[in-house]
Each structure stands twice: as structure tokens, then as C-alpha cells.
């Protein structure tokens, strides 16, 4: 490349892009924040493929489009380094290692998950996962709840989510509510908006639906195309449809899927791989994985040239603020529900509390905590020792 801000596709060999993102996809534990830090170290400071300013522009763009932020950042950087082929290669190389590992763990879960030893491990892992999600909520809340009106909007969104409103409706309405707040500069605006326009729009009565690969594909494409915020917001969508509406999964299986997502590197969205395998074997895992990541490639390809203008648009910034608030409310609501399945006695209370302290105070890598929780669960359950 002629410089760190050169046009996409000039000078970086495709092999180098593939090897870098394969390594990141294999070793990037710790969630999206850790992924972003590793990419910045490799591409800005070490290799100087992109300037810090351009890197921040691309990171900001990932917050303006739906989908997993760190995965979309990898796709943006691949395009910047090696053009359209680099866009595809970087994304696939970042996603595939975690997906394959998740697939192997899903197979093991189906084969051995009902055995006492596996039950003991998951007994200790689940409260740790609750602590991880609470930490994500805390970090997002400090960023998202920037003003009192946004705090009020978050409370109303949480009430709507708890009342059964569709996650998609919560996100869109929260974004529109934030735009309304900005335009009228009146805290009462979003309350009228929600009470008049959103409260009546609730999910229908739960009903069992037959499983199909087509239905699985359409569900995960929808999630990948509309999900803003942390990857943990994925929990709200999975629980609303796959658990409550169609009864394809149980809360316990959903927690186990998230646990696997925590002990594997790469994007949290590979939880879809685990869910797909539980529901439809290899075919289901493949369909779910392709479906949930496909929109990210499309959005990055379309939005790349528009990034500078999007970041400067006041309305886009206000809408994003609202969407982040809605995402926070969805995460909080689903966390309340899953806590009842994970924290069931004194040992699990202690595991969740200690994990939360380690995460919030010392920022211990969540992968180590999950492994520690598995060990503690085995010890408490008498499976080892």
C-alpha cells in the first residue's frame, strides 16, 4: 500500500490477510472489546496497514449498522487491505475457526451433555455466564445512558420487553424515540411515543411451531440483519422466538449455548452454530451460521463508501443512541429470566458474585472464568476429587 489510508486492495497480499484473520479468529478470546484491541494492535501499530484515524472511522461505522461489531470490523479491514476479495476472506477467516470449534463442542454436548460429569461442569458455568452478561450490561449502560431522557427511555423499553413486546419493535421504537427526544428536546416525548405506539404491539401467544431448516435460516437472517448492540442482545432474540414462541429450545439449552460461546474464540454470534446443531445437526449448524453472518457482509459492502457521511449525520447518531438503549433493555430483561435458571443455590450465588467482582474490578478474561466455573461446578458436585 502507498500509505495507511490508501484505497482498498492496494498492496497487501491476500495470503497475509487470510493468515492474520485466521490467527485472530483462533486466538481472539475475551469478547468484542478484546477483538477490537487485537485488530488495532496488529493492523495499526504492528503492520501499519491502516491509520488510527481510519481505524476509528471503521469502528464507528460498525455501531451504525446491525450485526456483530468485531466481525464487521474484520470485514471492513479486509476490504481496506485487499479489496472485495479481502472483504470476504477476512470475514470468513475470522468466523470459521470459532464456528468449527463451536460445532465440535455442540457434538460433544449432544453426545455427553446428559452425563453427570457434564451436568456438573455446566452447573458451575451458568452462573459465571450470568456475571459475564451483567458485566456487559454495566459497561453498555455507562456508555448508552448518557442523559436522563435516555434513562427514561431505557426504563420504558425494559417495561415493554418484560411485557412481551417483540425485540425488533423495542429496538426500532427506542431508536425512533431517541430521534424524537432530540427533535423536540422534551423528556415527555418518548413516553407518549411508547405509550401510544408501542405498548399495544406485543408478541402473540406462545405456540409450538414445527422445526424446519428454512425457518431456521429465515430466523437467523432476520437476527443478523436487525440486531444492534452487544452480541449478548442475541440472547433476547433467541429466547423470544426459539424458547418462548416456538419452543424449539429450553432456557437451559440457551444458557448452555451461551456458555459454549464464551469458551470459544471469535464472535459471540457463533452461538448460532451451537443452536443450529442442537436443532438440525450439521445441516442446521451450517444454515444457522451462514444465515446470521450473511447480513454483515452485505451491510459492510454497502455502507463502506457511506461511512464518512453516516458518522456526521445527527439523526443517525440519535437513532443509534436509542437503539443502544433498547438493546440494553432487552439484555436486562433476558438476564432476569435466565438468572432464575442459573442461580439456584448458595454455591451458584457465590460463583456469580465472585465472577462479577473479578470481571468488574480486575477485568479477568471471561474465558478463564468460564473454565474456572466448570472446575468449581465439578468440585461442588463431587464429580472429581
Domain boundaries, the chain: 14-93, 99-115+135-340
Most confident region among 57-61, 64-68, 79-83, 311-315 by mean pLDDT: 79-83
Q: Residue range 119-144: average pLDDT?
A: 82
Helix (H, G, I), strand (E, B) or coil at 343: coil
Residue 1's pLDDT is: 43
* Interatomic CA distance for residues 33 and 70, integer angstroms: 8
| Of 6 and 174, the one with more pLDDT | 174
pLDDT bin (cut points 50, 70, 90) of residue 90 is very high
Question: What was the pLDDT predicted at 229?
Answer: 63
Whether this model's pTM surpasses 0.85: no
Contact 105, 277 (CB under 8 A): no
| Separation of alpha carbons 285 and 271, rounded Å | 10
The pLDDT, as a whole number, for residue 311 is 55
Whether the pLDDT of residue 187 is over 50: the answer is no
pLDDT of residue 69: 84
Grid cell at residue 18: 487470510
Are the C-beta atoms of residues 65 and 300 closer than 8 Å to each other?
Answer: yes
Among 92-96, 266-270, 346-350, 354-358, the range scoring the smallest mean pLDDT is: 266-270
385 vs 52, 124, 378, CA distance in Å?
51, 16, 9
**Mean pLDDT value of segment 264-287:** 93
Residues of the chain with pLDDT > 90, as a percent, come to 38
Cα separation, 29 vs 263, in Å, equals: 8
pLDDT band at 185 (very low <50, low <70, confident <90, very high): low
pLDDT one-digit tens code per residue, 91-107:
999 999 999 999 999 99
pLDDT of 186 reads 43
Q: Are 56 and 18 in contact (CB under 8 A)?
A: no
Instruction: Give the pLDDT score at 30.
Output: 60
Quote the cell numbers at residue 345.
443455590
Residue 353, all three cell numbers: 458474585
Q: How confident is the model at residue 202 (pLDDT cuts 50, 70, 90)?
A: very low
Q: How far is residue 361 from each of residues 135, 272, 310, 354, 357, measured CA to CA in Å?
A: 10, 30, 35, 10, 6
Residues 166 and 43: their CA atoms lie apart, in Å, by 39
- Place 15 in a pLDDT band, splitting at 50, 70 and 90: very high
| pLDDT tops 90 at residue 215 | yes
Q: Report the chain's mean pLDDT, rounded to a whole number.
A: 83
The residue among 101 and 118 whose pLDDT is bigger is 101
Please check whether residue 28 is in contact with residue 265, taking contact to mean a CB–CB distance below 8 angstroms: yes
Among 53-57, 126-130, 175-179, 213-217, the range of highest mean pLDDT: 213-217
DSSP 198: T
Least confident residue range of 85-89, 102-106, 231-235, 268-272: 231-235
Amino acid at each position: 500500500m502507498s500509505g495507511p489510508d490508501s484505497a482498498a486492495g492496494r498492496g497487501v497480499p491476500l495470503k497475509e490477510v487470510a493468515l492474520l484473520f485466521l490467527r485472530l479468529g483462533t486466538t481472539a478470546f475475551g469478547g468484542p472489546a478484546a477483538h477490537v484491541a487485537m485488530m488495532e494492535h496488529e493492523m495499526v501499530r504492528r503492520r501499519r496497514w491502516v491509520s488510527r484515524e481510519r481505524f476509528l472511522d471503521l469502528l464507528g461505522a460498525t455501531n451504525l449498522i446491525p450485526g456483530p461489531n468485531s466481525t464487521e470490523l474484520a470485514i471492513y479491514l479486509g476490504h481496506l487491505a485487499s479489496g472485495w476479495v479481502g472483504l470476504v476472506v477476512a470475514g470468513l477467516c475470522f468466523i470459521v475457526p470459532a464456528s468449527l470449534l463451536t460445532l465440535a463442542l455442540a457434538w460433544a454436548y449432544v453426545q455427553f451433555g446428559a452425563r453427570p460429569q457434564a451436568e456438573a461442569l455446566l452447573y458451575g458455568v451458568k452462573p459465571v455466564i450470568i456475571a459475564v452478561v451483567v458485566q456487559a450490561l454495566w459497561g453498555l449502560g455507562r456508555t448508552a445512558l448518557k442523559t436522563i431522557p435516555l434513562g427514561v427511555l431505557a426504563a420504558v423499553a425494559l417495561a415493554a420487553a418484560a411485557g412481551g413486546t417483540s425485540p425488533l419493535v423495542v429496538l426500532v421504537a427506542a431508536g425512533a424515540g431517541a430521534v424524537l427526544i432530540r427533535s423536540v428536546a422534551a423528556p415527555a416525548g418518548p413516553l407518549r411515543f411508547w405509550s401510544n405506539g408501542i405498548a399495544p404491539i406485543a408478541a402473540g401467544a406462545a405456540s409450538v411451531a414445527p422445526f424446519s431448516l428454512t425457518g431456521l435460516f429465515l430466523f437467523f437472517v432476520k437476527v443478523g440483519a436487525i440486531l444492534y448492540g452487544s452480541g449478548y442482545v442475541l440472547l433476547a432474540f433467541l429466547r423470544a422466538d426459539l424458547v418462548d414462541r416456538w419452543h424449539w429450545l429450553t432456557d437451559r439449552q440457551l444458557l448452555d449455548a451461551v456458555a459454549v460461546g464464551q469458551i470459544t474464540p471469535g464472535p459471540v454470534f457463533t452461538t448460532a452454530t451451537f443452536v443450529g446443531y442442537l436443532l438440525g445437526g450439521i445441516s442446521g449448524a451450517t444454515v444457522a451460521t451462514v444465515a446470521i453472518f450473511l447480513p454483515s457482509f452485505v451491510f459492510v459492502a454497502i455502507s463502506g463508501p457511506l461511512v464518512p457521511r453516516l458518522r456526521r449525520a445527527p439523526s443517525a447518531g440519535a437513532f443509534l443512541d436509542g437503539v443502544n438503549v433498547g438493546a440494553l433493555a432487552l439484555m436486562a430483561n433476558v438476564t432476569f429470566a435466565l438468572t432464575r435458571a442459573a442461580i439456584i443455590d448458595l454455591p451458584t450465588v457465590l460463583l456469580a458474585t465472585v465472577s462479577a467482582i473479578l470481571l468488574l474490578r480486575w477485568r479477568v478474561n471471561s474465558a478463564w472464568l468460564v473454565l474456572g466455573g466448570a472446575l468449581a461446578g465439578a468440585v461442588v458436585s463431587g464429580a472429581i476429587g
